Structure 1
């Protein structure tokens, strides 16, 4: 497919995201979008990303993980990813993409979050930064021989909550109490964004979170 055709295809998906967001309605304490239209947007976008990159690529994985559920921030996350894909296509980067090692994947998503913040999409940026932070915490646990799964009463393994891993890393002196406090605040902000509580934080706080997570990942590398 020619570059101009790819751009047209991704533009249609970005427009579909805007249509989904235009259906946002407040129901009780939650703001949600129209489910059928959201599902159409999600399915079409995943199909496009699969054909373009394959299911193992970070764009596909990030879209599949974060664009799930009818909170507006999930659709905004998807639109942000598609905008990043469009930029790659327009700048001719698409055919230069190689497999990334873990640290490069993190850098890529933090740069994507910065792009979202510059364009005032604080909510999907917060979700994306928080996802990078949580994955880094889990990898720090693996590096320091801290179990990341727990077994319930039925013998089924479940991943530990990020807050518990944060506490265990602090107890193991992987980092200090101040880092623990900052991580708790960042995870709370991410959870607010993921659950549609957009008035609980502002863009300046997400900017601060972005800077803090960048510094933390650089200081405690895997």
Structure 2
């Protein structure tokens, strides 16, 4: 998830909280219940947008014993801190960890499929992880991901990343070869590669994700 998307989620929720605070001035009966709902929504958002063990999640735990209205105020402070840190770019490593965790899950799935003899789905899943990561690398490094309102092809983004100096020509060629294998799997050309090549594909992409986090 891009920083802009994370910020939008937080700001949308902040707008709802602002509306609640305006309503609460009139002491409406349902105010306390709504405070609990909003406090829960903040917990869900902060948990979704941060990683396990982060200071943001630890701060949320401290407010769990408060009454709903006080818990809302506490959680609101936590979310505003997260928003400001995202805006300042201080949580870049947190975003990278979230990406890494997600991709690791998909590659483990590919490993499991390959171990059971399903080389073709394993290749497709690995290729999808690769393409998503290449796009995330573009976003991170200020490389455009669309032309005339249309998403760029993965091969084009790969070339653009090389031009931007994110990685060298050798890495570009490796990514190109991986994308070719992925395309063969996605289009049913299953005889064009074997199980060993898919194994190398998975391990190569795993190393690539670690070497170039996004």
Report the TM range for the smaller structure's normalisation.
0.5 to 0.7
Quote the Cα distance in structure 1 between the aligned partners of 2:114 and 2:171.
23
Secondary structure at the aligned position of 1:101 is classed as: helix
Quote the Cα distance in structure 1 between the aligned partners of 2:153 and 2:108.
26
Q: Structure 1, residues 156-180: CA drift from partner, whole Å, max 9, x if none?
A: x110000000000001110011111
Q: How is 1:1-222 mapped onto 2 (pairs within 5 angstroms)? A: 101-151=98-148, 157-222=149-214
Gaps of 5+ in 2: 1-96
Quote the Cα distance in structure 1 between the aligned partners of 2:169 and 2:191.
28
Q: Conserved in 1, the CA contact under 8 Å of 2:119 and 2:198?
A: yes
TM-score (norm: length of structure 2): 0.54
Quote the Cα distance in structure 1 between the aligned partners of 2:110 and 2:153.
23
Q: Structure 1, residues 69-128: CA drift from partner, whole Å, max 9, x if none?
A: xxxxxxxxxxxxxxxxxxxxxxxxxxxxxxx93321111000000001111110000000
Count of paired positions: 119
Gaps of 5+ in 1: 1-99, 152-156
Larger proportion of helix: 2
Quote the Cα distance in structure 2 between the aligned partners of 1:119 and 1:180.
31
Quote the Cα distance in structure 2 between the aligned partners of 1:173 and 1:107.
25
TM-score (norm: length of structure 1): 0.52
- RMSD across aligned positions (CA): 1.5
- Kindly name which structure, 1 or 2, has the bigger radius of gyration based on alpha carbons: 2
